[in-house]
Amino acid sequence: MNAANDTAVAASIPTRRRLPRLGFAGWIGAALVLFWLGMALFGSFLAPHGVGEILDADAFEPMSRQYPLGTDYLSRDILSRILAGTRQTVGIALVATFLAALGGSVLGLAAAVVGGWFDAGLSRFLDALVSIPSKMFGLLLVAAFGSSLPALTLTLAVIYLPGCYRIIRAVSVNVATLDFVLVARARGEGTFYIVRHEVLPNIVGPMLTDFGLRFVYVLLLLSSLSFLGLGVQPPDADWGSLVRENISGLAYGAPAVLMPALAIASLSIGVNLLFDGLFGSRLQRKGGA
């Protein structure tokens, strides 16, 4: 009891901490995420060779000083290709996650605040969409709309919108029944005001956590689609398509196959660690108080 009070008091004192308390794993995650974000922005300037440049080397060369991560099936430098692919992978996944989060949040908030048949109908519809496995849904949408960049991004956004809606709606319904929302309603505030000023500020934490989780899902699905040859199309290549085009090098144990796959894994694990460090501890503190 006492300890809980102490933490509550300590938390309410405005200490100006320079760095958030992340924990060791959280910092590793933050470093990985920052690294890949930096590579997405500046990677093409750092690449030692051109993206499509066919070099004077063998196919599937092992790592060497000249080609840090070896060469691919057409004797291109795989490090340069991974760096170029970072922009595709991170960019598409970020935009798609953002769209999914935006759509899911708007609908979820609206459903929680408006309620009634609007909530019931929308929830039933989106819950039914969740019952289509995500990879299957992705294959269907790609079969219908193709895999141009906008179609691919929208496909990913549509697939993960219902999941985001579920979370946001569940959190907002809890907030919407609290007294201060009732007071605002009694004051005669409109729906938009209630959403913007009463509910939204109280669900930012869960929203951000969901964003991180959703980003990992989108990243994995995008990579899987590209790996199946149904995602980013040549001559562009994201990490998933890099694994696909070099898969014949697997028999020689070429780094060209493994490295892009490890890039995906490192980003996904990094985001997981970062968001666990950021929000896991906060949830625990909330539970303790």
Partner 1 sequence: MNGKIVGMLTARFATAVLTLLFVAIVVFAITSLLPGDVAQQILGQSATPEAVAGLRTKLGLDRPPSERFLLWLAGLAQGNFGRSLVNDLPVSQLIAGRLGNSLMLAAITSCVSVPVALLLGIGTAMRPGSWLDRIVGIGVVFVVSVPEFLIATLAVLAFAVKLRWLPALAQAPQFHDIGGLLRSFAMPIITLSCVIVAQMTRMTRAAVMDALEAPYVEMARLKGAGPIRIVLMHALPNAVGPIANAIALSLSYLLGGVIIVETIFNYPGIAKLMVDGVSTRDLPVVQACALIFCAGYLLLVMLADAAAILSSPRLRHQ
Q: Could you list the residues that contact partner 1 (CB under 8 A)?
A: 128-129, 131-136, 139-145, 216, 220, 223-224, 227-230, 240, 243, 247-248, 250-253, 257-258, 261-262, 264-265, 268-269, 272
CB of 141 to partner 1, least distance (A): 6
Decide whether 105 or 246 has the Cβ nearer to partner 1: 246
Which helix (H) or strand (E) covers residue 196, if one does? none
Q: Is 237 helix (H, G, I), strand (E, B) or coil?
A: coil
Residues 6+ apart with CB under 8 A from 266: 32, 36
Smallest distance, Å, CB 31 to partner 1? 16
Q: 141 or 176, CB closer to partner 1?
A: 141
Q: Min. distance of Cβ 102 from partner 1 in angstroms? A: 22
Between the alpha carbon of residue 34 and those of residues 21, 38, 69, 157, the distances in Å are 17, 6, 21, 23
CB of 212 to partner 1, least distance (A): 11
Nearer to partner 1, 153 or 172 (CB): 153
Give 47's strand partners. none
Residue 162 beta carbon to partner 1: minimum distance, rounded to whole angstroms: 12
Task: Output the DSSP codes for 46-94.
Answer: H-SS-SSPPPSS-TT----SSSTT-B-TTS-BHHHHHHHHHHHHHHHHH
CB atoms within 10 A of CB 113: 21
**What amino acid is encoded at 249 in this protein?**
G
Phi, psi for residue 71 in degrees, rounded to 5: -125, 165
261 by Cβ neighbours in 10 Å (0-12 / 13-18 / 19+) ranks as middle
Give the shortest CB-38-to-partner 1 separation in angstroms.
21
In the complex with partner 1, which residue's Cβ is closer, 44 or 145? 145
Decide whether 94 or 258 has the Cβ nearer to partner 1.
258
The dihedrals phi and psi of 16, each to the nearest 5 degrees, come to -85, 90
